[in-house]
Amino acid sequence: QRLLEAYLARYDEMAQVISREIGAPAKLAHAWQAGLGKRHIEETLRTVEHFPWQRKKGTTLINHEPVGVAALITPWNWPINQIVCKVAPALAAGCTVVLKPSEVSPINAVLFAEIMHAAGVPEGVFNLVNGDGPSVGAALSAHPDVDMVSFTGSTRAGIEIAKLAAPTVKRVHQELGGKSANILLDDVDLEAAVTAGVNACFSNSGQSCNAPTRMLVPASRHDEAVGIALRAAGKHRVGPAGDPATTMGPVVSDVQFGRVQRLI
C-alpha cells in the first residue's frame, strides 16, 4: 500500500520520463505506460487479500513459499509495466529481487528505485543493477545465489538465459518475442477490423509485443483492405512525443529505426 502511495506521488514524473526515454506520445505515456505500473500494484494488492497461501488437496497440504532471490530482467518498450508486474508479486510473495532493466530505457527504473525507497522497502529487499544483457543479465542468470530468473525479451536472449541458469537448476520464467499476426477472415467487418488493426499497430510506435504488425486478409479483399488501411494511417499524426497532437512518436533509437527499415 505504501508503494502504491509513493508511486502515485511521482506518477506524472514517471509518465514524462518514459515519454522522453522511448518516444511514447505524452497521452499514451500518462494513461498507459505509467498507468499500467499503477494498475499492477493495485491488482497485486487485490490478489494477496484473497490468495490461499495454504490449502488442502485431499490429505496433502499445499504451502506457497517464497522462491528466494529473483532476478528480474525487463525490456525497454513498456518499461515500468514490465518492472512492476514482476517486482510487485515477487515482493508480495516474500522474495528479494534484483532488477536489471533494459539499458535502452534505464531512467524510469532509477525513478522506481527512488519510489521503493520512499515506500520504506527494507534495505536489500529491492536491488537495482543497470547494464546490458551480455554482461549483467548473463551474470545474474548464472549466479549461484539467484534462485529464479524472470525474463521478457527476445527468443535469442531467452535461450542464452536458460543455458546459463541450467547448471544451478534455477527456476526460469520467460516471455519471449514473436511476430504478432492479425488474421481477418471472410465474414469480418473489414472497415472496422482493418481500422482497429492499424490503430493498434501504430500505438507505441509499433513497439509492442502484441502490436498486430502482420495483417493477413483474404486475397479477394486485399485491395479493399489496403484502401481502408491507407485511410486509417492518414489520420495519424507523426511528431515529437511532447506535442499533444502527436499520435505516433519516434522509435526508441537509431538501431530500432534501422531494424524497422529492414523489415519494410
pLDDT in tens, 2-52: 999 999 999 999 999 999 999 999 999 999 999 999 999 999 999 999 999
What's the pLDDT tens digit per position in 72-117? 999 999 999 999 999 999 999 999 999 999 999 999 999 999 999 9
CATH classification (class only), 2-49+66-176 = alpha beta
Q: Is the whole-model pTM more than 0.95? A: no
85 labelled catalytic: no
Q: Which of 175, 191, 201, 224 is catalytic?
A: 175
Question: In the CATH scheme, what is the code of domain 181-252?
Answer: 3.40.309.10
Q: Evaluate if residue 180 carries a pLDDT over 90.
A: no
**Domain locations along the chain:** 2-49+66-176, 181-252
SS (H, E, C) the chain: CHHHHHHHHCHHHHHHHHHHHHCCCHHHHHHHHHHHHHHHHHHHHHHHHHCCCEEEECCEEEECCCCCEEEEECCCCCHHHHHHHHHHHHHHCCCEEEEECCCCCCHHHHHHHHHHHHCCCCCCCEEECCCCHHHHHHHHHHCCCCCEEEEEECHHHHHHHHHHHHHHCCEEEEEECCCCEEECCCCCCHHHHHHHHHHHHHHHHHCCCCCCCEEECCHHHHHHHHHHHHHHHHCCCECCCCCCCCCECCCCCHHHHHHHHHHC
Task: Exactly one of 160, 191, 209, 224 is catalytic; name it.
Answer: 209
- Catalytic site residue 175? yes
